[in-house]
A and B are shown apart, each in its own frame.
Chain A
Amino acid sequence: MELTDGDLIARVLVDDDQHAFGELVRRHQSSVRGLLRQLTRTDVALADDLAQDTFLRAYKNIRSFRGEARFSTWLYRIAYNCFREDARRRKELVGINEEQLQSERDPQVADPGLRHDLMHALSLLPLHERSAVLLCCQNGLSHEEASRVLDIPLGTVKTNVLRGREKLKRTLVAWKT
């Protein structure tokens, strides 16, 4: 029988079982690294460094995980904080302008694959919309959970998701034609 995240966390808490923590990392590494790759606009090396930092912080602060949210939601929050701190350090916390987005929507310059186009369109969304869309639409978090992860009001999350979706839909229309 496979152990749940809760069982593994209990083992880490009681016995400081690093194998159990390793299993948690194995389970969640893909989604955390995926989220960070999208946030860093597919800078794989930076995203993986941030993902490592995320799991190290999670290990050190696992006692503060109270089980009120899913473990993955808690991890996303740490990952997003790591990303924000790093972005602040690098002074790269800027959105993309509409003009640039418009040029990327041109079907003539767009790559043929839907996957590539979607990923590209995602990377062009302003950070606040990108992070909301990634968490809610791609990682299946509720608006409330995303609001806790991003530390912004629920209404703002809903607006950001709506706007991000609209922009992505416009890109997909271009792809279909």
Chain B
Amino acid sequence: MENLSNMKEIQQEDLLDRQLREVAPYIDDEGFTARVLRQLPPPRHARRSFRGAILLTITLLASVLAYLLSDGGRFLVVEATRLTTLPTLWLFVLALGSGILVMAGGVIAAISKTREVQS
């Protein structure tokens, strides 16, 4: 008898839940999503490209300044000449070192990006 009453109660609860779900109408978007998207801050890549432009400008300005202050970049010619006089082994070590340095930078960037995504 008690089981029957419990079952009836559960059925009533199910009916109420179903009715509650049925009375919740689907609300049409009607421009809601567009309004939300308009209020979002600019995408990160836009902010990144702006940051990149600033860095590039500063680098170019610094290079021009260095060129002018170093007597028309004479030090570059001197260093390039010195490089040509270096033994082949030294040149190889220099190229290998530079390659490893760039690769390490890439690996570190990839690891930090992976951690960012996983978190």
Contact = CB atoms under 8 A, between A and B. Distances in A.
Contacts of A33: 27, 32
Interface stretch (A77-85, A92-100, A101-109, A165-173): A165-173
Most buried by A among B23, B35, B117: B23
Contacts of A14: 117
B33 A22 contact: yes
A52 to B, nearest CB: 6
Interface stretch (B14-22, B66-74, B98-106): B14-22
A119 B20 CA distance: 8
A48 B110 CA distance: 40
Contact of A52 (B17, B35, B44): B35
B56 to A, nearest CB: 21
B13 to A, nearest CB: 6
B69 to A, nearest CB: 40
A132 to B, nearest CB: 12
A46 interface: no
A114 B23 contact: yes
Contacts of B16: 137, 165, 168-169, 172
B5 interface: no
B20 A118 contact: yes
B57 interface: no
Contacts of A140: 21
B87 interface: no
Nearest to B48: A16
Interface size bucket, B side? 20 to 34
In terms of DSSP, what is the predominant structure of the interface of chain B?
Answer: helix
Interface in B35-67: 35-37, 39-41, 43-45
Nearest to A136: B17
Most buried by A among B22, B25, B36, B43: B36
B95 to A, nearest CB: 34
Contact of B44 (A16, A115, A133, A172): A16
B23 A29 contact: no
A56 interface: yes
A138 interface: yes
Contact of B43 (A16, A119, A137): A16
Contacts of A2: none
6 contacts: A10-B117, A15-B45, A37-B27, A52-B32, A137-B20, A138-B24
Interface of B: 12-13, 16-17, 19-29, 32-33, 35-37, 39-41, 43-45, 116-117, 119
